Structure 1
Amino acid sequence: MKGEGKRNTKCLVYVAAFIVFQTIIILAFALTVMRVKSPKVRFGAVVVENTSSSTNSSSFDMRLFAQVAIKNTNFGHFKYDSSNVTILYGDTQVGSAVIPKGRAKARKTQRFNVTIDVTSASLSGNANLANDIGSGVLRLSSQAKLSGKVHLMKVIKKKKSGQMSCTIAVELAQRAIQELTCK
């Protein structure tokens, strides 16, 4: 009879240890893999082409070739809807491009190119524009928001969105990007 009591106690200790071990594994899994984060959207690189500017008429026209990077740090893929990249001078839109719908694989960065035609046609009467063109450096900003869903293990779907906010300093004489900063 004494041996059975020890065996039962030993069995209970093993079962309790197994339950604690399984709880720790499930908790670690839930805190790492199942935690869904918003993807990061940034400009990877921007190239300026076809630049024309005039200090007299306070106008500019240019074409930007931009690489958009969507960094998905989740353990599931991010499927996003089509969206727009908007280029602003001050608070006025001077250009935009469409980001087609797509999918960023799990724990990967998807890169693709967009072409943005930027013009000052909507900036009539802006006093700062002549000064900026005269200085040779044009400061623009860009914004985009990608909305979609992160799919975990083909069962769990969480809505997430990534936002981009970049400032771009274009050196007009060199037709080059002097500074590109994204948040």
Structure 2
Amino acid sequence: MAEKPSTPSQANPYGRVDEEVAISDERRRNRKKCFVYVLAFIVLQTCVFLIFGLTIMKVRSPKFRAIFLAPPLWSATFNTFEVATLNTNSSFSIKMIAELGVKNPNFGKYKYQNSTIEFYYLDMYKVGEAVVPRASAESRSTRKFEVTVDLSSTNVPSEVISGQFRSRPIIPLTSQSTVRGKVEIMKLMKKNKSSNMNCTMDINISSKNIENLTCR
């Protein structure tokens, strides 16, 4: 009698088990890969949001400064320059046009309101003021503009000016101002920010230049 041929399962009873184990291992490997991909995506997204928050969404204070021709000279011109250097009755009347700038370091527009700059002689006597008109500085740019100020010694005792002229032929001035406004980033966030400008300078009455300008 001829022998009955054996079936594959009879030849290897563990073949089906090995196949199921292989499939299970493959599924485990796929799950691990999926987990790694998801974890990498989460880390990447966290890094992106962190960089986004530390750069684009971080709001910095703008800077309000005088514009320099070449240090230490301020970009300013004089339409009127009348100075009397008498021993007992010194005075001055000066119309100055100066160039200023609002530097916006943010990734969003900075809109600021009207403001004024006050000028003082020897940090004591107010001798003039200038108007800073409302405007805006674009993202990461500097808005430049000119202001006109009439400097007059009306409120300064003439003997004080005469004493200064005898010491050195200059007009020592200080100026101070605060610009207030809002930084708007991607129309998602608005934050109030202000910038102060405090400067000291000397007007040389011989050369008609501004010297020794420092701002903070």
TM bucket, shorter chain: over 0.9
- The 5 A counterparts of 1:1-183 are 1-44=24-67, 45-54=75-84, 55=86, 56-89=88-121, 90-124=123-157, 127-134=159-166, 135-183=168-216
CA RMSD of aligned residues (A): 1.4
> For 1:1-24, what per-residue CA distance to the aligned partner results, in whole angstroms no more than 9, with x for missing partners?
111111111111110111011101
Distance 1:176 1:49, change over 3 A: farther
- TM-superposed CA distance for 1:167, in Å, is 1.2
**TM-score, normalised with respect to structure 1:** 0.94
| Sequence identity percentage | 36
Structure number with the bigger relative contact order (C-alpha 8 A, sep ≥ 6) is 1
More strand by share: 1
- TM-superposed CA distance for 1:91, in Å, is 2.2
Larger radius of gyration between Structure 1 and Structure 2:
2
User: What are structure 2's unaligned runs of at least 5 residues?
Assistant: 1-23, 68-74
Number of aligned residue pairs: give it: 182
User: What are structure 1's unaligned runs of at least 5 residues?
Assistant: none
Contact 1:53 1:133 in 2 (8 A): no
SS of the equivalent of 1:123 reads coil
- TM-superposed CA distance for 1:46, in Å, is 2.0
**Amino acid in the other structure paired with 1:95:** G
- TM-superposed CA distance for 1:25, in Å, is 0.8
**TM-score, normalised with respect to structure 2:** 0.80
What is the alpha-carbon distance in structure 1 between the residues aligned to residue 209 and residue 195 of structure 2? 27
